[in-house]
Amino acid sequence: MIVERTAPAEEMFQVIHANFGSTVGDLTVAEPRMTARNVNVHYADKHAIIDVSLDIGCHEVIALIGPSGCGKSTFLRCLNRMNDTIESCRVSGEIRLDGQDIYDKNLDVVPLRARVGMVFQKPNPFPKSIYDNVAYGPRIHGLAESQTALDEMVEDSLRRAGLWDEVKDRLQQPGTGLSGGQQQRLCIARTIAVSPEVILMDEPCSALDPIATAKIEELIDELRQNFTIAIVTHSMQQAARVSQRTGYFHLGRLIEVGKTDEIFTNPQHKLTEDYITGRFG
Amino acid sequence: MGTENVPTNLHIDNFIMQSTTLILILLVLMAVAFQLGCRRAYNLPGLGCICDLHSLPVYHGFYTAIWCGVPALLLLGVWSSVQTPIVINLLMDDLPVMMTAGLSQAELSLVLNDIRNLAYGNITSGEVSRELMAVADHYNQLQQTGLAVQSVMVILLALITTALGWRFISPELRARNKVESVLRWLLLISSTIAILCTLGIIFAVLFESVRFFEMVPLTDFLFGLQWSPQIAIRADQVGSSGAFGAIPLFAGTLLISFIAMLVAVPVGLMAAIYLSEYASQRLRTYAKPLLEILAGIPTVVYGFFAALIVAPMIRDSAAQFGVDASSESALAAGLVMGIMLIPFISSLSDDVINAVPQALRDASYALGATRSETIRQVVIPAALPGIVGGVLLAASRAIGETMIVVMAAGLSANLTANPLDSVTTVTVQIVTLLVGDQEFDSPKTLAAFALGLLLFLVTLVLNVIALRVVRKYREVYE
């Protein structure tokens, strides 16, 4: 005889919750876009991410902060399986996008990465024209049915990235000829051209001057209307300015997560407090 | 290229032996001087510790060794180049009047030549008179004395300058700086030698080509469709028209190079892409050196591989289809040359593909591109200038390649585009024109220089283009 062991949802939640004991604060949200549960990442012998669980809500900007080498970029790269390109990297645990397991063996990473886009630390436009940079994604995914549709897509993406007015007269010039801030906005335009649901940003402003940074931050705030954004940053001011929720990573663990203003005004964990008040890091 | 005034082997032998011995002695002396210099620097009177010296003792050693060696070597060089002219001058003054009276410059030099030939025990142009014998003996004597004096002078100079250098050593002596500047000169001279040699080769080829073009019009050479360099010695000789049209040779060269590139470029490029983008690190560490072994096989081995295995195979399989193929075909030579060039292209392409920043690949993957899309649309375009540079380098290698085509492509200068025919190339013709005993005043031999010049120009242009492209590539990501 088989004993049915379906526990009530409430109880289940508690059980799961108990496992996340190491993280202070509420890591869940009411309307999650992505959910990560008990994620562990190993690089060869190095245990880079230890038991991290985190929800990323719809239309929110979540900032991941922490000292260098704490695993925040690694965690970010797990969310669209960019770690697959690193030979020695092993990921375990569960990450879901809209309820679908993205580490499922049958899942194709191509549509996944089209849904979860990424902007990198250093602006990395292709050595192609500005137009071709933005059109790259729509072309490989066959999103545009005609040249006019593609033109519109490129223009729309560049407009949303706040770059259109600066480049509309030189779309055929190489993207590498733009300034650093423009290059980064070009990379953002390139990412949103494939209409992702989530945009991962890995220290997108660390190579930019303050004015270019301000423009990108403004842009992030606008993009929040249409996209979910997870941003890794070293600048706590930036995290405070652009994000609604903040997670603090330390030595591969997610120490604390919560509403940004609460984290910065009233951190619960000693490590978070030390980092935010500048005692180390 | 005349034979007058060329010292005979015997003389050169004598001379080289003497110089080698002298140089060896000088090296030993320099080693001793080095030791002496070091010692003196250590034991300088009134020296508290080594740190009181401006330079380390070892530099004082080098300093003394340089003083010992350089002036003596210079003297040796100068002496060696002026001894023979001086001896000949002395000889001319001493010649009996009856031997030189009423002789023209040319006849005089003939007499001189006889004297020297006699002195070295070679054959002379005419009858040997008693006077001539005496003069030859005198000449030998003068040369011997010259060499003996040279040895004494060189060694004496080395000893004097060593003593001088040794005396110069003092705590304030900036020996290190002086040694450095001598080194700089040494390096400068070395690089100058390389450049001068290149220039010398170019001018040698250029002057001989000019002589050729005095006999055969430039237009005939550049645009002629017939190559038949044999020139009739007798009027009734057949098949020796002496036509010097280079077109069939260059057509053959291009045909074979084209076939070779057709093999090498796709295979090499795809191997490079596999190794750099798909292969695991482990496979890469083994496969890359293995592939590069191909580059280490001597071309003569490729040559007989082509002539003995590939060419008969092509002929036989062509026969199966009822096609007539020559047993020495452009296809065989081209295929094997292509195999030879694979590591060239794969190795160079692999390097430039690896130089494409990982950030670009990440950007493409993050947009949902697959691996092959990324390679086709991002990696290859970014690496293209470097790949083109590699291909051009391989092409100039193919055009200049000799051994494989000598053995596998044949000698008949057919103007054809059929790869199953036998064709010949520029390099093959140069080899056949110059192998064996040749006279250097017939258009036949001089044609080799004209071909060489043209070939040199073609490969030079290709290399310049390749270097330009490669340089441009370097600027892309910096």
The answer on pLDDT for B402 being more than 90 is: no
Evaluate if pTM is beyond 0.90: no
Structure tokens at B52: 């009181």
Assess whether pLDDT exceeds 70 at residue B473.
no
- Distance (Å, whole) CA A254 – CA A93: 15
Q: Tokens for A89?
A: 């990297």
- Which one of A111, A126, A137 has the shortest CB-CB distance to B360? A126
User: Are residues B362 and B262 part of one domain?
Assistant: yes
Which residues, 6+ apart, have CB-to-CB distance to B114 below 8 Å? B124, B125, B126, B132
Which of B280, B357, B367 lies closest to A117 in CB terms? B367
- Percentage of the residues of chain A whose pLDDT score is greater than 90: 51
Count contacts between A and B (CB, < 8 Å). 66
Question: Tell me: the pLDDT tens digits for B331-343?
Answer: 989 999 999 999 9
User: Bridge-partner residues for A57, per DSSP?
Assistant: A32
Structure tokens given for B400: 């200049």
Interface test with B, best of A74, A77, A108, A110 (most B CBs within 10 A): A110
Domain residues for the domain of B350 are: 241-476
With beta carbons under 8 A apart, name residues in chain A contacting B475.
none
For residues B149-167, give the mean pLDDT: 92
Tell me the shortest Cα–Cα distance from A199 to chain B, in angstroms: 10
Which residues in B lie closer than 8 A to residue A137 (C-beta atoms)?
367-368
- Spatial separation of the C-alpha atoms in residues B444 and B116, rounded to whole Å: 32
Query: Any idea of the CA torsion for B91, B93, B95, B96, to the nearest 10 degrees?
Result: -160
Is B201 within a domain? no
pLDDT of residue B126: 64
Does the residue B104 lie in any domain?
A: yes
Out of A110, A111, A126, closest to residue B363 by CB: A126
Closest-CA distance of chain A to residue B365, Å: 7
Quick one: what percent of chain B has pLDDT higher than 90? 27
**CATH classification at residue B256:** 1.10.3720.10
Q: What SS3 class is residue B227?
A: strand
Contact B381 A140 (CB under 8 A): no
Residue A104, both tokens: 């499922």
Q: CA-nearest residue of chain A to B279?
A: A87
DSSP string, A170-188: -TTSBGGGS-HHHHHHHHH
Per-residue pLDDT of chain A (281 residues; tens, 9 = 90+): 444 444 444 444 443 444 445 788 888 888 899 999 999 999 888 898 999 999 999 999 999 999 888 889 999 999 999 988 888 888 999 999 998 999 988 888 888 999 999 999 999 999 889 999 999 999 999 988 899 999 999 999 999 888 999 999 999 998 988 998 899 999 999 999 999 999 999 999 888 888 889 988 998 998 999 999 999 998 888 999 999 999 999 888 999 999 999 999 999 888 888 888 887 65
Residues making up chain A, counted from first to last? 281
d(CA A81, CA A115): 12
Tokens 């750099």 sit on residue: B276
Distance from CA of A230 to the nearest CA of B (A): 15
Q: Which residue has the tokens 């330390």?
A: A250
Same domain for B139 and B259, yes or no, is: no
Find chain B residues with C-beta within 8 A of A87's C-beta. Answer: 280-281
The number of C-alpha atoms within 13 Å of A91 and in the hemisphere containing its C-beta is 25
Looking at this protein, which amino acid is placed at residue B178? K
Residue B281 has pLDDT above 80, yes or no: yes
Residue A114 distance to chain B (closest CA, Å): 5
B263, B161: one domain: no
Tokens 């409430």 label which residue? A10
Chain B neighbors of A190, CB-CB under 8 A: 363, 367
CB contact under 8 A, A126 and B361: no
Q: Do B476 and A114 touch (CB under 8 A)?
A: no
Instruction: Using CA coordinates, name the residue in chain B closest to A127.
Output: B382
Q: How far apart are CA B254 and CA B398, in angstroms?
A: 9
Q: B363, A113: Cβ pair inside 8 Å?
A: no
Whether B251 and B135 map to the same domain: the answer is: no
Last residue of some domain: B130, B153, B173?
B173
Contacts of B363 in chain A (CB under 8 A): 120, 124-126, 187, 190
Kindly indicate the confidence band of residue B125, based on its pLDDT and cuts at 50, 70 and 90: low
Residues B162 and B292 in one domain: no
Judged against a pLDDT cut of 60, whether residue B3 lies above it is answered with no
Say how far apart CA A72 and CA A249 lie, in whole Å: 6
Contacts of B174-178 with CB under 8 Å at 24 or more apart are B174/B54, B174/B55, B175/B41, B175/B54, B175/B55, B175/B59, B175/B60, B175/B62, B175/B63, B176/B54, B176/B55, B176/B56, B176/B59, B177/B55, B178/B63, B178/B66
More confident residue, A164 or B241: A164
Find out whether B29 and B1 touch, Cβ atoms under 8 Å. Answer: no
Tell me how far CA of residue A234 lies from CA of A55, A277, B417, in angstroms: 21, 14, 66
- Judge contact between B246 and B454, C-beta under 8 A: yes
Q: How far is CA A44 from CA A33, A91, B415, in A?
A: 30, 11, 62
pLDDT at B71 exceeding the cut of 60: yes
Burial class (CB within 10 angstroms; exposed 0-12, middle 13-18, buried 19+) of A266: exposed
Contact call for B362 and A124, based on CB within 8 A: yes
The verdict on a CB contact (< 8 Å) between A114 and B363 is no
Q: pLDDT at position A5, please?
A: 43
Q: Which of B143, B173, B203 is the last residue of a domain?
A: B173
Highest-scoring range by mean pLDDT, A55-64, B278-287, B422-431: A55-64
Token reading at B476: 């892309």
Please identify, among B122, B154, B173, the residue that sits at the C-terminal boundary of a domain.
Answer: B173
Distance CA B109, CA B469 (A): 55
Of A175-179, B108-112, B230-234, where does mean pLDDT reach its minimum?
Answer: B230-234
Query: Which residues on B lie below 8 Å from A194 (Cβ)?
Result: 367-368
The domains of chain A are located at 24-276
Within this chain, do residues B23 and B136 fall inside the same structural domain, yes or no? yes
Q: Is B363's CB within 8 Å of A120's CB? A: yes
pLDDT of residue A125: 92
Number of structural domains (chain B) is 2
Locate A277 and state its tokens: 């008040």
Higher-scoring residue by pLDDT: A130, B115: A130
pLDDT band at B115 (very low <50, low <70, confident <90, very high): confident
How far apart, in Å, are the Cα atoms of B57 and each of A19, B40, B175?
A: 72, 8, 9
Q: Find, among A58, A24, A61, A79, the residue nearest to A248 by Cα.
A: A24
Which of B34-48, B169-183, B428-442 is predicted least confidently? B428-442
Whether residue B115 lies inside any domain: the answer is: yes
At A29-64, the pLDDT tens digits run 888 999 999 999 998 888 989 999 999 999 999 999
Residues of B in contact with A122 (CB under 8 A): 359
Q: Note whether B384 and B266 are same-domain residues.
A: yes
Predicted confidence band of residue B29 (pLDDT cuts 50, 70, 90): very high
Distance from CA of A161 to the nearest CA of B (A): 16
Listed residue (B407, B419, B260) closest to B342, CA to CA: B260
Q: Are A80 and A113 in contact (CB under 8 A)?
A: yes
**B391 CA to chain A: closest CA distance, Å?**
21
Mean residue pLDDT of chain B comes to 84
In this structure, the answer to whether residues B260 and B371 fall within a common structural domain is yes
Inside any domain, residue B41: yes
**Closest to A233 (Cα-Cα) out of A244, A224, A242:** A242
pLDDT of residue B10: 52
Torsion of CA A80, A83, A89, A92, to 10 degrees: -10
Identify whether B191 is part of a domain: no
Whole-angstrom distance, CA of residue A175 vs CA of residue A129? 5
Is pLDDT of B275 > 80? yes
Cβ atoms of residues A93 and A40 within 8 Å: yes
CATH 1.20.1540.10 fits A24-276, yes or no: no
Closest residue on chain A to B382 (Cα): A127
Start-to-end Cα distance in chain A: 58
* Pairing status of strand A61-65 against strand A245-250: parallel
